[in-house]
Amino acid sequence: MKDKGKPKEVKTAYTGANTAAQALSRDPGIKAPQGSGEAKVVPHTLDRDVSTSIRQEKLTCPQCGKSTLHAEFPDQFEAWIKCVSCDFFMGMSNDEWHRMKNSPNINEKIKKMARKKDLIPEQAGSR
């Protein structure tokens, strides 16, 4: 006699993708699709304060040169770069910060962006 209770579970590529989509829908960092009736607010899950690069180098202030620079994340859209010693401040998008923090030369990139935004003076002989 055949088992008529539960249908036999068949694993396909679609089954794996569907399982992954369900897992992502439970992730608090993923927005709910429009019209789903679920909350549209995405909780901020980034570190609140960063003072070292991913290679564990201390962040150096482009203005005073001290290792007292740190990054703050007021929300999921922006990052603030601040120096405790000289009150240097530079705001940027979270995407810009993400590109910088994954760079092996983060301090040079911070300095370059500060020059581009006219927050620190150009050095003689630099481009």
The confidence score (pLDDT) of residue 50 equals 80
83 located within any domain = yes
> For the whole model, what pTM was predicted?
0.57
Output the pLDDT for position 65. 93
Whether 22 is in a domain gets the answer no
Task: Determine, yes or no, domain membership for 10.
Answer: no
* Residue ranges making up the domain that contains 90: 49-116
pLDDT value, residue 56: 81
Query: How many domains does the structure of the chain reveal?
Result: 1
Q: Is residue 37 part of a domain?
A: no
Q: How many CB atoms lie within 10 A of CB 73?
A: 18
Q: Which two tokens stand for residue 114?
A: 């500060």
State the helix-helix crossing angle for 106-116 and 94-101, rounded to 10 degrees.
140
Task: Classify each residue of 38-48 as buried b or exposed e, where b means 16 or more C-beta atoms within 10 Å of its C-beta.
Answer: eeeeeeeebee
Q: Smallest Cα–Cα separation from 82: which of 73, 71, 93, 92?
A: 71
User: ∠121-53-61 over CA atoms, to 5°?
Assistant: 25
3-state SS, residue 84: coil
DSSP-derived secondary structure letter, 86: T
Q: What residue type is assigned to position 10 of the chain? A: V
Q: What is the pLDDT along the chain (127 residues), one digit of tens a residue?
A: 555 666 666 666 555 666 666 665 555 554 545 555 544 444 444 556 788 877 788 899 999 999 999 999 988 899 999 999 998 999 999 999 988 888 888 999 999 999 999 998 877 444 4
- At 81 the pLDDT is 93
